[in-house]
Amino acid sequence: MNTSHPNSADPVLSKLDGLLPDLEALYKDVHSHPELSMQENRTAGLAADRLRAAGYEVTTGVGKTGVVGLLRNGDGPTIMLRADMDALPIEEATGLPYASKVKSKDRDGKTVPVGHMCGHDMHVAWLVGATNLLAQAREAWHGTLMAVFQPGEETAQGARAMIDDHLLDRFPKPAVVLGQHVMVGSAGNIAGSAGPITSAADSLQIRLFGRGAHGSMPQASIDPVVMAAATVMRLQGIVSREVAATESAVVTIGVLQAGTKENVIPDEALIKLNVRTFDAGVRKRVLAAIDRIVKAEAEASGAPRPPEITPLDQYPLNVNDKQASDRVAAAFRDYFGADRVVHTGPAPASEDFGCFGTAWEVPSVFWFVGGTDPDTYAKAKQAGRLNDLPVNHSPRFAPVLHPTLETGVETMVVAARAWLSAA
């Protein structure tokens, strides 16, 4: 695969190579100083400083820590480019010399390790690079560029917080909203498709109530541990027995907690689960099935009170506009060559990126940029061991710096210029 830069003749991207050392330093800085969702004060400050230095009108504190930069460059459409900034409560295990050692308090006040194990640090560097290059080559395009550095993607808070902070009233309406994500895949390759591109996601917390007793006298209890175990097992039947083979859904139990001592039957148990779907009808049926099963298992156990089912994070289905997606794909093929532009189906991961296009009622396009060393990816694919590669949210997830860094800058610039009027 050829991952050399075809940018020498491009008036915007011709200066990319000279910018790469600075972008690499920025990436390592952000990676070493990760911040949890809605706490991205330092990262937002770095983004704002870079935008100001490039000549953008900058507004900070949008939706708490969000940053919006505007570069008005004559008549033409407004194009929105988005990057998310937040990290995860995961202890990094990459072994990199610039690995995070940060610990911070989460929204529940618990001290947790923090790491950029989803690649949002790369997203920040990409958008900083793209906005810098477009500002340096204003003679090559006309229109308005709107750069949005978004907080809180990992908790599904950030996009909605910016919209609720009157984003739509304070800034010009874009013709299209563009975004991207680093993922497992051969670095230097770009993947996407029209239609659903990331799944809807619903996270739920379930409290099951029993009656505690001594471990030696289970007959005096209503055991919430057994109730929870039965509930977890029954929930597994939703996808296998209630969702058609031609449809898709994922139901994952991520938390199962009960009790503190082996000879004490507790009063209650806690389950937290996550649902992924690609169709509104399937989503409705799966959520209804969860509600039905949880309540039925509690009743079958003789629970003293009904279970509490509390919604947690919720992400919308992210759908790429067909016409806009075709336009982006054509621009990518023209710039990178068809061999580096891959058609892919929807990813089971979820994103709140789609909130912007929906709120503004404009098309949006979201795509993926490979971040795995090409040789490593090729060998794993040949051996049928792609699942062994560290994925997003793994403690070992670390995109290879090059060509991931330059490819993501190129994709943002090329996609934006598919709309920005030529000079």
Does the structure show a pLDDT above 50 at 388?
yes
Query: Averaged over 119-138, what is the pLDDT?
Result: 98
Residue 61 backbone zone (phi > 0: left; psi -120 to 50: alpha; other: beta): left
Structure tokens at 19: 């910018």
Does the structure show a pLDDT above 60 at 7?
no
pLDDT tens-digit map of 287-308: 999 999 999 999 999 999 999 9
In CATH terms, 13-194+321-422 corresponds, of 3.40.50.10680, 3.30.1360.100, 3.40.630.10, 3.20.20.70, to 3.40.630.10
- pLDDT the model gives residue 10: 83
pLDDT tens-digit map of 217-236: 999 999 999 999 999 999 99
The H or E element spanning position 65 is none
Domain 199-315, what fold? Alpha-Beta Plaits (3.30.70)
pLDDT band at 33 (very low <50, low <70, confident <90, very high): very high
DSSP classification of residue 353: T
DSSP classification of residue 243: S
Return the domain boundaries, the chain: 13-194+321-422, 199-315
Work out whether the CA dihedral 101, 104, 110, 116 comes out positive or negative: negative
Query: Averaged over 395-416, what is the pLDDT?
Result: 97
User: In percent, how much of the chain has pLDDT > 90?
Assistant: 95
Structure tokens at 381: 């694919």
For the question of whether the overall pTM of this predicted structure is more than 0.75, the answer is yes
Angle in degrees, 0-180, between the axes of helices 16-32 and 401-417, rounded to the nearest 10: 120
355 is in an annotated binding site: no
Query: Averaged over 71-91, what is the pLDDT?
Result: 97
- pLDDT the model gives residue 421: 74
- pLDDT the model gives residue 8: 54
pLDDT tens-digit map of 226-282: 999 999 999 999 999 999 999 999 999 999 999 999 999 999 999 999 999 999 999
Structure tokens at 167: 């984003």
Give the distance from CA 301 to its chain's centroid.
39
